[in-house]
């Protein structure tokens, strides 16, 4: 049960704050116990799927907490960079697979090593870009939550995507 709640929380674009979710009755300690370091989660994904994961050299916020989560069943890796003082989250999600280019994923944008799709709607609480690492058969989702409706982070997400190594 705790794992399902944790997975839903990390997949969301909202930061965990026990005051925002009092009905869950899950302590912040329990949530953080499921996280590991970015490096350990990265190694778990790479060892299981024989895929090299790229991590951002540029993070578009001043973070005071980082964590990673490897979900073997979903073939995914989540890397979170949190600014808990300002309730901001930058997330990198890597999923083993091939992106279906025939599905309209949003506005096509140019990256230094290819293209991505930018998803930004007023009702979304975050901006997203999604792209395929063709060398590794890994799909990357980068997202950053919005503090106000209409706020965009496209340039920061492009810079972060271009910095993946």
Predicted local confidence at residue 151, as pLDDT: 73
Beta strands per DSSP E along 9-147? 65-71, 76-83, 88-96, 107-111, 114-119, 126-133, 138-145
Q: Which two tokens stand for residue 46?
A: 């790479």
Buried b (16+ CB within 10 A) or exposed e, 86-114: eebbbbbbbbbeebeeeeebeeeeeeeee
Mean pLDDT of the chain: 80
Predicted local confidence at residue 101, as pLDDT: 77
Q: What pLDDT digit, counting tens, does each position of 39-80 carry?
A: 999 999 999 999 999 999 999 999 999 999 999 999 999 999
**φ, ψ at 44 (rounded to 5°):** -60, -45
Predicted local confidence at residue 32, as pLDDT: 54
Domains observed in the chain? 35-162 (2.60.120)
Predicted local confidence at residue 12, as pLDDT: 40
**Average pLDDT in the 99-122 region?**
85
Whether the model clears a pTM of 0.85, i.e. scores above it, the answer is no
Predicted local confidence at residue 125, as pLDDT: 85
Predicted local confidence at residue 121, as pLDDT: 76
Predicted local confidence at residue 30, as pLDDT: 47
CA 50 to chain centre: 20
User: Does residue 153 contact residue 135 with C-beta atoms inside 8 Å?
Assistant: no
**Average pLDDT in the 28-38 region?**
67
Residues in contact with 29: Cβ distance below 8 Å, sequence separation at least 6, in sequence order:
none
Q: Residue 147's pLDDT band (boundaries 50, 70, 90)? A: confident
pLDDT higher than threshold 50 for residue 17? no
Predicted local confidence at residue 38, as pLDDT: 95
User: Does residue 85 contact residue 66 with C-beta atoms inside 8 Å?
Assistant: no
Q: Residue 150's pLDDT band (boundaries 50, 70, 90)? A: low
């Amino acid at each position: 049960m705790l794992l399902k709640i944790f997975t839903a929380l990390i997949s969301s674009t909202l930061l965990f704050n026990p005051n925002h979710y009092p009905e869950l009755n899950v302590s912040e300690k329990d949530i953080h116990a499921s996280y590991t370091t970015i490096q350990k989660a990265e190694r778990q994904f790479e060892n299981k799927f024989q895929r090299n994961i790229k991590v951002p050299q540029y993070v578009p916020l001043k973070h005071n907490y980082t964590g990673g989560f490897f979900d073997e069943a979903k073939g995914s890796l989540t890397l979170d960079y949190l600014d808990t003082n300002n309730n901001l989250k930058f997330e990198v999600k890597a999923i083993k697979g091939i992106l279906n280019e025939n599905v309209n994923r949003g506005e096509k944008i140019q990256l230094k090593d290819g293209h991505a799709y930018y998803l930004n709607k007023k009702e979304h609480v975050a901006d997203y870009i999604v792209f395929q690492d063709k060398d590794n058969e890994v799909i990357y989702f980068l997202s950053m939550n919005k503090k106000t409706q209409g706020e965009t982070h496209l340039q920061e997400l492009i810079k972060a995507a271009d910095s993946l190594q």
